[in-house]
Structure 1
């Protein structure tokens, strides 16, 4: 039951080239920075990433992206990452853009064993009709486009069928966690972390504060340890190293 690993490097050592990864975080909030840096040092490439966004230049998944180690991204938001946009438009990177709520539910559904579900999001658009550019050719034409999706009416309203997502691994960050893998997320860092953790067959969680089993009240646990296979305790300096994308202050 003790799921704690001695280091981030040890926890991600078996992630191979071409692996699929669900990664928590939104912008730079709740991003498993230490695990991502360890994966960068480990050297795996050709990764297929499922994450709301792909970090920013120099932070988060942007580190792996800049190194050419990500082959495909399933996400909702290009964001402030200029390298992400460049690779996508130049045909170096395959990108499946998914409505944000749909992405969250696809991850949660996959983790809950639900193969597919119907949603009104995307009805009447290319999300349902198909034709969204997944990969561009070097001449700017569409090399790979999204396929059409099944639609169905319920009570007179149209819905589109979306499939649940499961991945080989998941990387997440939590505020507190115990040795059994029970996790608590703090404020906005809850974002995509619980659903990403559910979707991974092997989920690795970096925690800012590691506690002993029994110290967390069952009422405060956001994600039970059944969804987590490995835990990495951060140092105080690692836990404090947090950035935001845009700082806005009064003059």
Structure 2
């Protein structure tokens, strides 16, 4: 199975539809799939629900999709530095499901692991718990949170092999492995692609079983270097 696509646009073809749910990796502007977000903007699809820690900044990252009004709902842990995100929410133009950051991470992890729900102490007795099942364990109260699944995941990694095994670069790992596992189809943009077997198995952060499509998004110099190595 060839997982490598020639462009971000090609990798999205046939997958994105109006009203679908996407999980997008990144934390602030660290580890965001810039090329895939740009290609998603260019599809013009709207009514999207996006699961992401936040929504970039104005005009960059997911902020682009807010400006074009393609996102109808965000599932996030904070608004961040995005003024348009804040404006749309306060004006009632954007639905927002605020989720504590650790809970958001666990909801994605549980979705990827096939776990439908879990209990957490976080949010009990606050607005976060309204309308949710609560239960007492060993004298303490917990809130039941449902797992999150997405139709498509958009992820950024540092290096991949042709089978889709991934290595992330330091803190750019953040929400990316969790978002990847939670998607029914996972598309990853990477800075380098090597032959299967070239990556040290002990250094792989996410196995290729979670990855369906790969896009190389490297600098022109890096692309030339990779073509030179492969033709040698």
Shorter-chain TM-score tier: over 0.9
Match of 2:35 in 1: 34
Partner in structure 2 of residue 243 of structure 1: none
Correspondences of 1:97-246 after superposition (within 5 Å):
97-128=98-129, 130=130, 148-236=131-219
SS in 2 for 1:92: coil
Q: CA offset at residue 237 of structure 1?
A: 5.1
For the residues of structure 2 that align with 1:16 and 1:78, how far apart are their CA atoms? Answer: 25
TM-score (norm 2): 0.93
Aligned to 1:91: 92
SS at match of 1:152: strand
Secondary structure at the counterpart of residue 6 of structure 2: coil
1:97-129 C-alpha deviation (Å, 9 max, x unpaired) = 00000000000000000000001100111111x
Instruction: Give yes or no for the alignment of 1:77 onto 2:78.
Output: yes
Q: Which runs of 5+ in 1 are unaligned?
A: 131-147, 240-251
Q: Offset of 1:234 from its aligned partner? A: 1.1
| Conserved? CA contact 1:34–1:238, under 8 Å | no
Distance 2:87 2:209 in 1: 39
- How many pairs align? 221
Return the alpha-carbon distance in structure 2 between the equivalents of residues 36 and 184 of structure 1.
20
Report the structure, 1 or 2, having the larger helix content: 2
CA displacement 1:129-172 (0-9 Å, x = unmatched): x2xxxxxxxxxxxxxxxxx1111111111110001100100000
Structure 2: gaps spanning 5 or more residues: 223-232
CA contact under 8 A between 2:20 and 2:151: conserved in structure 1? Answer: yes
Q: Cα offset for 1:2?
A: 2.2
State the superposition RMSD in angstroms: 1.2
